[in-house]
Amino acid sequence: MTEGPYGFEEDGRRFVLTSATAMPAASTFLWNRRMLLQLNCRGFATAQFMQPEPAKYAHAPALEARTFMQPEQPYYAHHPGRFCYVKDEEDGGLFSVPHEPVRRAPEAFSFSVGLSDVAWRVRCAGIEVDMSVTLPADDVAELWTLRVRNRSGRHRRLSLYPYFPVGYMSWMHQSGRHRPDLNGIVCDSVTPYQKVEDYFRQRDFKDRTVLLYERVPDAWEANQAQFEGEGGLQAPHGIVAQARLGGGDAAYEMPTTVLQYSVALEDDEVQEYRFVFAPARDDDEVRRLRARHLSHAGFTAARDEHAAHIDDGAGCLRIETPDPWLDAFANHWLPRQVFYQGDVNRLTTDPQTRNYLQDHMGMAFLKPEVARAAFLHALSQQESSGAMPDGILLVEGAELKYINQIPHTDHCVWLPLCLRAYLDETGDDAILDAVVVDREGHAAPVAERVTRAMRWLLQARDARGLSYIAQGDWCDPMNMVGWRGRGVSGWLTLASAYALKQWAGLCERRGDSGLADEFRDGAAACNAAMDTHLWDGDWYGRGITDDGVAFGVGSDTEGRIFLNPQSWALLSGAADAERQARMLAAIDTHLVSPYGVAMYDPPYTRMREDIGRVTQKFPGTAENGAVYNHAAAFYLYSLYQVRDGDRAWRVLRAMLPTEAPTDCLQRGQLPVFVPNYYRGAWRLHPRTAGRSSQLFNTGTAAWLYRCLVEELFGLRGEGDALRVEPRLPSHWPSARALRRFRGARFDVRIERVEGLSQPRVAVDGLWQEALLIRGFQAGRTYEVQVDIPA
Amino acid sequence: MTEGPYGFEEDGRRFVLTSATAMPAASTFLWNRRMLLQLNCRGFATAQFMQPEPAKYAHAPALEARTFMQPEQPYYAHHPGRFCYVKDEEDGGLFSVPHEPVRRAPEAFSFSVGLSDVAWRVRCAGIEVDMSVTLPADDVAELWTLRVRNRSGRHRRLSLYPYFPVGYMSWMHQSGRHRPDLNGIVCDSVTPYQKVEDYFRQRDFKDRTVLLYERVPDAWEANQAQFEGEGGLQAPHGIVAQARLGGGDAAYEMPTTVLQYSVALEDDEVQEYRFVFAPARDDDEVRRLRARHLSHAGFTAARDEHAAHIDDGAGCLRIETPDPWLDAFANHWLPRQVFYQGDVNRLTTDPQTRNYLQDHMGMAFLKPEVARAAFLHALSQQESSGAMPDGILLVEGAELKYINQIPHTDHCVWLPLCLRAYLDETGDDAILDAVVVDREGHAAPVAERVTRAMRWLLQARDARGLSYIAQGDWCDPMNMVGWRGRGVSGWLTLASAYALKQWAGLCERRGDSGLADEFRDGAAACNAAMDTHLWDGDWYGRGITDDGVAFGVGSDTEGRIFLNPQSWALLSGAADAERQARMLAAIDTHLVSPYGVAMYDPPYTRMREDIGRVTQKFPGTAENGAVYNHAAAFYLYSLYQVRDGDRAWRVLRAMLPTEAPTDCLQRGQLPVFVPNYYRGAWRLHPRTAGRSSQLFNTGTAAWLYRCLVEELFGLRGEGDALRVEPRLPSHWPSARALRRFRGARFDVRIERVEGLSQPRVAVDGLWQEALLIRGFQAGRTYEVQVDIPA
């Protein structure tokens, strides 16, 4: 699969890109319980760990704004990265691995992304260099291996210069020096404080950055400016003009970590080096890091532990389909992305409530006990009004930061939706009776708390029955629709209806038909209000402003149609069959693009002050009219609910690049995660349409996984049974799925059978009466045959 | 004066550096009423303007932290700057002006810093390029002139590429495109907001950056990545691999502004180009900028207006001494720095109260009406307790930011000190009766407000009579000494004594001997408390912590002696002659370094939690044991008060680099401003000792100017007279000073006369009875002869 510029290896467990220039922004990421490392195919890197807010230890050379991850952030020459220069000591020839900073065209290049490691192989001038990194499972440290091999057919004398820039660490304090006693270069800094209370918060920070070596280098340099000299990063003075690195230190100067190894290699001879690059608090911690990791045995143990950590979050589904790229993605990469988000909560201390709930909806399929704890934790922060807060505080001392100080009105919606997935997957109805104590000390069972949340949604509506939007709702581009207290959200009205319906169903199942009726009536009232006030003839409008102006309607010249109200009308049951048909046709006409379904159209070209950030944010930006995969995932989910499997398939498949020779290149996206968006406005900006945001934090992952498991393969829990109702695209003759479910394993073979009118299911050779499998036992494996009409 | 690597020209009004590599961090600055532009000799630049907080329009490629100016901030390849590439169309040879990004070694280079312009001349491959910039007096815009001349003796074909990088403008929105209708490249962005209230604060921001041209270019590029390609900034693809720039746009990509001019030059032929680089709000503003400035006449008018603006802040002193570097500095550059600080208040909206008062003390010598208004404005924010706030709010809607939220206890001290200078310079005693209404609506005259401030100082002391430090005082490195409410500051106790004495003198002059006695007694009590509790045998200690531990005393191994308590003990009169001698000897022994007098010694190597930021901030940093010029200026001032003119001269002269061939190079400092510090710890870090912070915001400027005017040349106001009492260093045989004073001009010639026992003063040939000139008239010029003992 790697004859082209990229492809999968190892049964989809490895993706390989063979050019650093074809997709210069291509990136991937690694994480463990403590840290996150994003790597770009050219060697750029961004690393974060928690103390307790996200912290950096290799810094941009400019003063960094400590902010959330930035989609499509540009790289530049001095961006942090991990590099190795190689100098030919005979002719002075220079190259660098992976590609930056020298950018010499290689004889061969590969960027190889594993589930728990990333590796490069670069050959220049007959010298082959392998660089690879993995993380220990439970330490903040990068474990790097460098292997150099002489492929030139003659004796060679080289110098290797591992170069891990540290950057501008702090305006208060930064220094660097070689510490032979610690076998490394140590860069120190102090997090600045001025208020006394900040000192106590920060004094135990890991303010030090170290590069530790196993083999003692022949020379080193700790001063960035002395290393670069006039040559700059492309031809550093310390390398080009000196036989030996200068051995300098940095005293309130920008420190760096560069080592030099003199190597003489016979033909085909190999030398291997190991390094640890990490933050640390003090000498003792440096010694511990070194003792624990810096050896062949330590690296092997760490690699195995980290791989085990990833395996621990393996998905509940393994598929074999006519689409091997989808297989690789669904079997390994999508569950890995879902696991990342649920495992470390996107490296935040105050995740937005809707993100936290949806991420743990994803975890329900991987590690339901983690999801359970998260739902209980979220509910422990419910307000006495029944409202959910804008963010969930995860650690002692965390604070709701900027975005979570802005009132959004949708958070309650996600409770029944996410709980429903959890209950279907686990059958753990007992969670509904679990008692949760809130921050005011009041105890109430989960079911009662969800009921309160639903009642909060019901009362947060205007006289017309439409839901107030305040300063925003989900897909939060709009914050001026209703800040004066009157504006309403069409989407949220429909989402409330859907949430109320979901909860009514669960109340019914618990035997409380009084509550069920209350919420069914509420849902019907929401739907009716939408029909009365926001049905626009061919689709539902997005909302009505404080001044009573409907928007996202046919009379708008920009932002005329929004995807979300249509998807959620399908879910909430607001639309009858005729309206559904009109909506689907309108989506096809206005929103379907070559790279997926856009969130709205036409793109905005100017600010509309009565709507707000949607226009403030979007004109001329990557997000303007973008294919927001999270919104597309709900459209996908809603299409399955109305049993439009072929349309759903087209939406699903557009969420990740295909094997087609240019698709990855155009999107700039490796198929190892689903990004939060692809650029849209494809009629307006054809040059940039389809480009990936490169951002892997997105609720898309959980919903896409749910769609694959419950809908495409139709293997969804229902009470104590497993419902089997696949919705394969009509061009697939067959597919196979291994489904892990409540401790049992189901080996499911799906075949299209000519002349069949209804699907049928056999378990271990016995045809079942319904499309349900009951009475299975944990620990056992069942052979399941599913015949579906051709 | 320019035969060496640097020197003054035009009678000191111009400084020239002739190497870009000898002092790579050398920088200077320009400002007008609206903006500040800092320029580095290699072409790096930082520009700020107000709206109302400091804003940028050329950005670092990383996400920028919007923070105060950073001393010694490192530059890097993609740092914002102003450049011009030059390509030889015959042989493809490439260089850039001023030096970055190509860094080709030039045949000739000069970096030429004028009072109201900055210019480079660079010759490479026989082509001479002049680049220069000035600012209009009252617009946010840079006016750039580019002049290219063929010095090669043969016909040449070139391409010129003015390249003004714009950088990563915003994560919300950024784009760029050529706008032939506006004759420029326009880069748009939107300041991100999420809270609705931020939108209204920001919607009129100048979020656009434009490069406007007078002559239509042959090609252009607005997309940074397309410009650079694989070649990077040293060999951009758009220049090296293309005959013509690609004409691209940026759509949520990093924009840039690059133009291309094809030029054919006969030998000695010259071509000239003009550009405006500026932020703007919209097309209309762009058109206005263009119409107003972009022509030969517009540039000439702007240059003249800007020069007039600088002249408007000219100093009150012109000197001729045996030290021509001092003459240049004192006549042009120091008053310019003083003017900058008072003119635009360091580009802040909430200057620290002590900075605001001292900056306007400086303005008293240049534009006393501005100083008067500032003193009244500061007092209008006095608290009802008599305390002064930590910062002074300058504009509607401004807020006290981080540093000004930390309680410091010294702000009242500066009122009588700065008022005293103002009164001496202006004779405007009426200001003391001016009524100031505070924010609670209470009216009180200035004198009463100062009296309240003095009483606040008196009560903010402990039972021993020592002044509480709270979370900090002046030279604010210490914030943990007294945060629990008990710790005291030795320096502040002495400073209070000095302030009280100053105010007592002014009360006496106003005939209020009751108040005068009250404050003289208070000052004596402060001095007595110091003698009892913090005299350490050879010097005064710095303070006593919350836990009762004295520090800055002989038993400390680090931070054993601090300069400030000694200087202020000389000022407050705490020390008798014997103690004075001990203190001066201790300073000579411990604090005097080759680059000036250090603020403390020995440098700290670890944190002392009972002192705080002094140790947190300083170990291993540039500021650790630094020569803090602001502290040195007070030592200087105090030495004049005890009439130690020769010791004072050594302190003064160390504040700026001398003409000695390596002094500028070692310090990395042009003698065009006095930086806030030079690195110290010279025994510990000899490699970096003496280096300049490059930071020109410092209270040093005002005090140094006061010392020059009032002390070195001894031309100080006293009531309605001018006191004439120069304290020239003993090795100067003579000096001359032109002094502007209350509208009159005094042409003062000072001579050492053998055998003279007392100084004497003649005005227009008439010997005066005292060293005072009385009865002079505004508008007249007086010849003053001063004879001093040899």
Residues 151-190 of A with CB under 8 A from B: 168, 171-175, 188, 190
> Residue B709 has what pLDDT?
98
SS3 breakdown of chain B: % helix, strand, coil, rounded to 5? Answer: 30, 25, 45
Q: Do B78 and A73 touch (CB under 8 A)?
A: no
> Residue A32 has what pLDDT?
58
Residues of A involved in catalysis: 476
Å from A678 to nearest chain B CA? Answer: 13
Render pLDDT for A462-516 as a digit per residue (tens, 0 to 9). 999 999 999 889 876 788 899 999 999 999 999 999 999 999 999 999 999 999 9
Order the strands of the A45-50 sheet from edge to edge: A27-31, A35-40, A45-50, A54-55
* Interface contact B229, partner A, CB < 8 A: no
Q: Do A406 and B195 touch (CB under 8 A)?
A: yes
Residues of B in contact with A76 (CB under 8 A): 61-62, 77-78
**Mean pLDDT, residues B386-403 taken together:** 88
Angle between helices A490-509 and A563-572 (to 10 degrees): 20
**Mean pLDDT, residues B728-747 taken together:** 97
Question: A25 falls in which pLDDT band (50, 70, 90)?
Answer: very low
Position with higher pLDDT, A576 vs B114: A576
Q: Provide the β-strand partners of residue A185.
A: A178, A211
Dihedral through CA B484, CA B489, CA B495, CA B499, nearest 10?
30
First to last CA, chain A: 31
Instruction: Out of A190, A194, A225, name the one closest to residue B402 (CB).
Output: A194
Q: Do B196 and A251 touch (CB under 8 A)?
A: no
Question: A2 falls in which pLDDT band (50, 70, 90)?
Answer: very low
Residues of A in contact with B486 (CB under 8 A): none
SS3 call for A114:
strand
Q: Residue A66 pLDDT more than 50?
A: no
Q: Which residue of B has its CA nearest to A171?
A: B70
> Residue A666 has what pLDDT?
79
C-beta of residue A419 within 8 angstroms of C-beta of residue A360: no
Render pLDDT for A651-665 as a digit per residue (tens, 0 to 9). 999 998 888 877 877
Q: Do A103 and B232 touch (CB under 8 A)?
A: yes
Position with higher pLDDT, B211 vs B403: B211
Instruction: Out of A78, A612, A617, name the one closest to residue B172 (CB).
Output: A617
Render pLDDT for B172-202 as a digit per residue (tens, 0 to 9). 678 899 999 999 999 988 877 777 888 888 8
* Interface contact B227, partner A, CB < 8 A: no
* Interface contact B405, partner A, CB < 8 A: yes
C-beta of residue A570 within 8 angstroms of C-beta of residue A534: no
* Interface contact A200, partner B, CB < 8 A: no
> Residue B39 has what pLDDT?
55
Please report the ipTM that was assigned to this predicted complex.
0.88
Question: B63 falls in which pLDDT band (50, 70, 90)?
Answer: very low
Q: Which residue of B has its CA nearest to A20?
A: B230
**Mean pLDDT, residues A609-637 taken together:** 79
Residues 287-326 of B with CB under 8 A from A: none
**Mean pLDDT, residues B764-790 taken together:** 96
Q: Provide the β-strand partners of residue A118.
A: A113, A133
Residues of A in contact with B199 (CB under 8 A): 480, 612-613, 616
Q: Residue A554 pLDDT more than 70?
A: yes
Residues of B in contact with A60 (CB under 8 A): 62-63
Residues 606-665 of B with CB under 8 A from A: 607, 612-613, 616-617, 619-622
Question: A15 falls in which pLDDT band (50, 70, 90)?
Answer: low
Of A553, A554, A667, A560, the C-alpha closest to A605 is A560
Average predicted confidence (pLDDT) for chain B = 89
**CB-CB neighbours of B110 under 10 Å:** 20
Q: How many CB pairs under 8 A join A and B?
A: 176
**Mean pLDDT, residues A593-606 taken together:** 90
In angstroms, the CA B617 to CA A170 distance is 11
In angstroms, the CA B708 to CA B702 distance is 10
Å from A43 to nearest chain B CA? Answer: 15
Residues in chain B: 790
Angle between helices A296-312 and A283-293 (to 10 degrees): 90
Instruction: Out of B61, B63, B72, name the one closest to residue A70 (CB).
Output: B63
Instruction: Out of A174, A188, A620, name the one closest to residue B173 (CB).
Output: A620
Of the listed ranges A659-663, B16-20, B76-80, the one predicted with least confidence = B16-20
Average predicted confidence (pLDDT) for chain A = 89
* Interface contact A685, partner B, CB < 8 A: yes
Q: Do A252 and B621 touch (CB under 8 A)?
A: yes
B467-468 and B766-767 beta bridge pairing: unpaired
Q: Do A688 and B253 touch (CB under 8 A)?
A: yes
Position with higher pLDDT, B207 vs B585: B585
Render pLDDT for A51-60 as a digit per residue (tens, 0 to 9). 555 555 455 4
Question: B52 falls in which pLDDT band (50, 70, 90)?
Answer: low
Å from B134 to nearest chain A CA? Answer: 26
Q: Residue B756 pLDDT more than 60?
A: yes
Position with higher pLDDT, A443 vs B191: A443
Among A164-168, B202-206, B651-655, B689-693, the range of highest mean pLDDT: B651-655
Among A77-91, B108-122, B286-300, the range of highest mean pLDDT: B286-300
Render pLDDT for B594-647 as a digit per residue (tens, 0 to 9). 999 999 999 888 888 888 765 545 555 677 888 999 999 999 999 999 999 999
Å from B190 to nearest chain A CA? Answer: 7
Residues of A in contact with B78 (CB under 8 A): 76-78
Order the strands of the B715-718 sheet from edge to edge: B715-718, B721-724, B772-773
Residues of B involved in catalysis: 476
Dihedral through CA B215, CA B100, CA B248, CA B141, nearest 10?
-50
Instruction: Out of A74, A168, A607, name the one closest to residue B74 (CB).
Output: A168
Q: Which residue of B has its CA nearest to A477?
A: B194
Q: Do B76 and A66 touch (CB under 8 A)?
A: no
> Residue A323 has what pLDDT?
92
Render pLDDT for A332-352 as a digit per residue (tens, 0 to 9). 989 989 998 998 887 788 899
Instruction: Out of B64, B78, B252, name the one closest to residue A620 (CB).
Output: B252
Residues 444-473 of B with CB under 8 A from A: 471
Q: Residue A641 pLDDT more than 80?
A: yes
* Interface contact B234, partner A, CB < 8 A: yes
* Interface contact A731, partner B, CB < 8 A: no
Q: Residue A733 pLDDT more than 50?
A: yes
**Mean pLDDT, residues B120-139 taken together:** 89
One-letter identity of residue B624: N
Q: Which residue of B has its CA nearest to A65?
A: B65
Q: Which residue of A has its CA nearest to B610?
A: A196
Instruction: Out of B76, B173, B621, name the one closest to residue A619 (CB).
Output: B173
**Mean pLDDT, residues B36-60 taken together:** 55
Å from B780 to nearest chain A CA? Answer: 52
DSSP for B743-784?
TEEEEEEEEEETT--S-EEEETTEEPSSSEE-S--TT-EEEE
In angstroms, the CA B280 to CA B49 distance is 11
Å from A102 to nearest chain B CA? Answer: 10
Q: Residue A137 pLDDT more than 90?
A: no
Render pLDDT for A663-703 as a digit per residue (tens, 0 to 9). 877 787 888 889 889 988 888 888 889 888 878 889 999 99
> Residue A238 has what pLDDT?
97
Å from A467 to nearest chain B CA? Answer: 19
Percent of all residues in chain A with a pLDDT value above 70, rounded to a whole number: 89
Question: B773 falls in which pLDDT band (50, 70, 90)?
Answer: very high
Å from A263 to nearest chain B CA? Answer: 30
Of the listed ranges A606-620, B45-59, B660-674, the one predicted with least confidence = B45-59
Q: Do A194 and B480 touch (CB under 8 A)?
A: no
Of the listed ranges A316-325, B209-218, B306-315, B427-436, the one predicted with least confidence = B306-315
> Residue B37 has what pLDDT?
60
